[in-house]
Amino acid sequence: MSYNINSKGYYGSFGGAYIPEMLLHNIEELNDNYLKIINDQSFLKEFNELLKDYVGRPSPLYFSKNLSRKYSAKIYLKREDLNHTGSHKINNTIGQILLAKRLKKSRIIAETGAGQHGVATATVCALMGLKCIVYMGATDIKRQSPNVARMKMLGAEVISVTSGSSTLKDATNEAMRDWINNPIDTHYIVGSVVGPHPFPDMVARFQSVISKEIKEQLMQVEGRDYPDYLVACVGGGSNAAGTFYDYLDDKRVKIICVEASGKGINSGKSAATTKLGKLGIIHGSKTLLMQTDDGQITEPYSISAGLDYPGIGPMHANLFTSNRGQFISIDDDGAMAAGLMLSQTEGIIPAIETAHAFAIFENKKFKPKDVVVVNLSGRGDKDLENYTDYFKI
């Protein structure tokens, strides 16, 4: 059995395309073309060149001496924070903008939570000269203002979404409505491994460059191309999907997904989907999601805007229910403390999303010989105000 997608667009029993007829044309067009386009030689050439010269790949795999000493394990950091625009999100937007051009689309829409995906989308739209509209929850616009300014600077139109809890879920709804209203000229650059098939698979493929590089880099420094553990934070799950991709079926590698439990799993203010969610349909995908007994999707909460999503991607739902992945939840305080710890131990200020992944070392014990690769998915510039307010620095 493979943990990757099957021919029908499902990971185990999760995934599929539960979409209204109004979106079918767009989804079918993508589904009929995406594999053909992204496996085409001219596409791969352009994609790889941009990843190298524009994004700055490969991103380093940095052996963290200080963390390794502190937690007695061999801890490597996959430095996606060093990418152009400051996170892994650009890997996917480069891929999708090249795809959109080949589908002759002239208008790009996107949703964003923390603003990292919005910035990465605005960036590639500027590069390719395409019109860019980003939907962002009003709550997130307030807490991620540096990224809003960046998107505007890059020429994107940022539309404030005030429905629901005014966060990522609602921004995604609004982007989908836009796509229904614009079925011909518009491509929707979904930012995570969520949404109807083929988005989870397509985004995972674009992010899989992360695990491909880890393989090569580990081979050079460890003499073997696999780690004992891979660790990544999960909101929708795109940096995790990219980190795990080439190791999904390699059982020597243990997978750890880190969710945000907000103010605590039972506090009513949480985003720990595997602890609180059950099977349902969100944004066109059958997956685990947080909902009431009546099937109403509940408002998630996390201090990090990028993990503030009531579902997880279908790949991760399958990793969870099959026990292929271990899911650990970290609350706001744990994440903030880990963010400060990484800053002062290694001189790297991580995004608050990413900080969740580093918080597991407080409780999860490793053996000194264990090779642990943590995806340092984004940098913390955008979060400085949140950090300084929190720590009263």
Binding footprint of another protein on the chain (CB under 8 A):
16-22, 24-25, 163-164, 169, 173, 176-177, 180-184, 280-284, 291, 293-298
Q: How far is the CB of 164 from another protein (least distance, A)?
A: 7
Q: How far is the CB of 173 from another protein (least distance, A)?
A: 5
Beta carbon nearer to another protein, 174 or 346: 174
Q: How far is the CB of 187 from another protein (least distance, A)?
A: 15
Beta carbon nearer to another protein, 196 or 380: 196
Residue whose entry in the numeric block shows the structure tokens 């990544």: 232
Q: How far is the CB of 391 from another protein (least distance, A)?
A: 35
Catalytic residue among 74, 78, 89, 286: 89
Beta carbon nearer to another protein, 118 or 284: 284
Beta carbon nearer to another protein, 5 or 17: 17
Q: How far is the CB of 314 from another protein (least distance, A)?
A: 15
Catalytic residue among 80, 111, 213, 259: 111
Beta carbon nearer to another protein, 95 or 310: 310
111 among known catalytic residues? yes
36 among known catalytic residues? no
Beta carbon nearer to another protein, 277 or 306: 277
Beta carbon nearer to another protein, 183 or 268: 183
Q: How far is the CB of 370 from another protein (least distance, A)?
A: 41
Q: How far is the CB of 304 from another protein (least distance, A)?
A: 21
Q: What is the 3-state secondary structure (H, E, C) of the chain?
A: CCCCCCCCCEECCEECCCCCHHHHHHHHHHHHHHHHHHCCHHHHHHHHHHHHHHHCCCCCEEECHHHHHHHCCEEEEECHHHCHHHECHHHHHHHHHHHHHHCCCCEEEEEECCCHHHHHHHHHHHHHCCEEEEEEEHHHHHHCHHHHHHHHHCCCEEEEECCCCCCHHHHHHHHHHHHHHCCCCEEECCCCCCCCCCHHHHHHHHHCHHHHHHHHHHHHHHCCCCCCEEEEECCCCHHHHHHHHHHCCCCCCEEEEEEEEECCCCCCCCCCHHHHCEEEEECCEEEEECECCCCCECCCCCCCHHHCCCECCHHHHHHHHCCCEEEEEEEHHHHHHHHHHHHHHHCCCECHHHHHHHHHHHCCCCCCCCEEEEECCEECHHHHHHHHHHHCC
78 among known catalytic residues? no
Residues 6+ apart with CB under 8 A from 257: 232, 233, 234, 237, 240, 274, 316, 319, 320, 325, 326, 327, 328
Report, as residue numbers or ranges, the catalytic residues: 89, 111, 377
